[in-house]
Structure 1
């Protein structure tokens, strides 16, 4: 009988403690977080951190379409030798920035219903995609026909988020400018639906390398040299 009780207690401890430490406690801490004001003199920035939350409707579409299955939204500490800092991952667009931007922290996801950290990086990380994203019109083309941008792309085409319609009079000023190879039949045009617009707005809002109050991004990264 005692062995059975010991077994049960060990089982509870084995599964209960990790669940408590990895899920319950972080969730409680996250719920208590609030935006933090910048100090203009110390931070050189005004306003609050993190800035306004992302487009919630667009995030739901992003999840529904399975984008988070192939894209992460998390920059890990460079000193772990896992990420480093690569061209296009943040505001600095140099081929090899001298100073890597900071890794993400819990408050970066404040205001988001879901923190889409991702499970694998088949496509590039999108934590800071808003900095390197093309203009909205080109991003729509990318979503409708990914291989029109890169012929090697494995990204699926989100054609159902767009409407192929017959041109009635002048062409719509929102019609996608598709390469000839991906053009629709003559007399027709492709225009974004409202869902496509929300998804693009969401992608353009992804900028998670804003400086942390009291700890500028450059200072935070100084202790984490870029991976060579």
Structure 2
């Protein structure tokens, strides 16, 4: 093998995957635009994808490295991996009649960054907004994950919260924590603006809205017995 053949082979080995995995998808993404729903056909109005996620909260999510452990991508159900788990979409039944649809490229259109994630150390968060607790409980989870699940491996984000001395009545924003995780007597823990932004972002994660022109698949029901 001469040097020229070696260089061409090396360029092809690295260049083709880069072209197929990065350049072409990026070009396709740049050409995407929101698609309008047809009320008669789809049963809903507006544009797909809907309102964007909380952008300021997304920046906190990225800075804290949340996408190192959480993905935001529902894989195709034919792979036998995703789609039916309880709470993964708007349908909160133990086993929804229709599996959650896989994530589409356009789902990220309204976001500055498409946070597909690296690995699933924690659960996927593509549709976390449907199954998330209320904001107060979510703040408590971020501040002290072990107060919610004693087996949790998620790090605590206490630096996003402020410990302050109680002045008069307890703040309405104060976290409700179990005694083991509660602040010292006379003090309270309240969210900072960054914590509020992060919680707002998590609550906005809903990537299972119907795609215009596509009717969600419904599990086939057995035909009624003939008399």
TM-score, structure 2 normalization = 0.94
Which whole-Å CA distance do the structure 1 matches of 2:44 and 2:58 have between them? 27
**How big is each residue's C-alpha offset from its partner over 1:77-134, in whole Å with a ceiling of 9 and x where there is no partner?**
0101222420010011111112102100100001211111111111111000000011
Q: Distance in 2 between matches of 1:111 and 1:41?
A: 25
Equivalence map 1:161-172=2 (5 Å): 161-172=160-171
| C-alpha separation in 1, matches of 2:20 and 2:151 | 42
TM-score between both structures, scaled by the size of structure 1:
0.93
The corresponding residue for 1:26 is: 25
1:122, 1:188 → 2: CA distance? Answer: 34
Q: Which moved more, 1:11-20 or 1:101-110?
A: 11-20
Partner in structure 2 of residue 226 of structure 1: none
Alignment of 1:94-109 (within 5 A): 94-109=93-108
Question: Which residue in the other structure is 2:225 paired with?
Answer: none
Q: Which runs of 5+ in 1 are unaligned?
A: 224-228
| Structure 1 stretch displaced more, 183-192 or 9-18 | 9-18
| C-alpha RMSD of matched pairs (Å) | 1.3
Give the number of aligned pairs.
220
Q: Is the 8 A contact 2:37 2:46 kept in 1?
A: yes
**Residue 190 (structure 1) aligns with:** 189
Determine if the alignment matches structure 1 residue 203 to structure 2 residue 197: no
Which structure carries more relative contact order (alpha carbon 8 Å, separation 6+)? 1
Structure 2 stretches lacking a partner, 5+ long: 221-227
2:87 and 2:157 map into 1 onto residues whose CA distance is: 23
Displacement over 6 Å in runs of 4+ = none
Q: Residue deviations 1:150-207, cap 9 Å, x none?
A: 1111111100000000011111111111111111001000000000000000000000
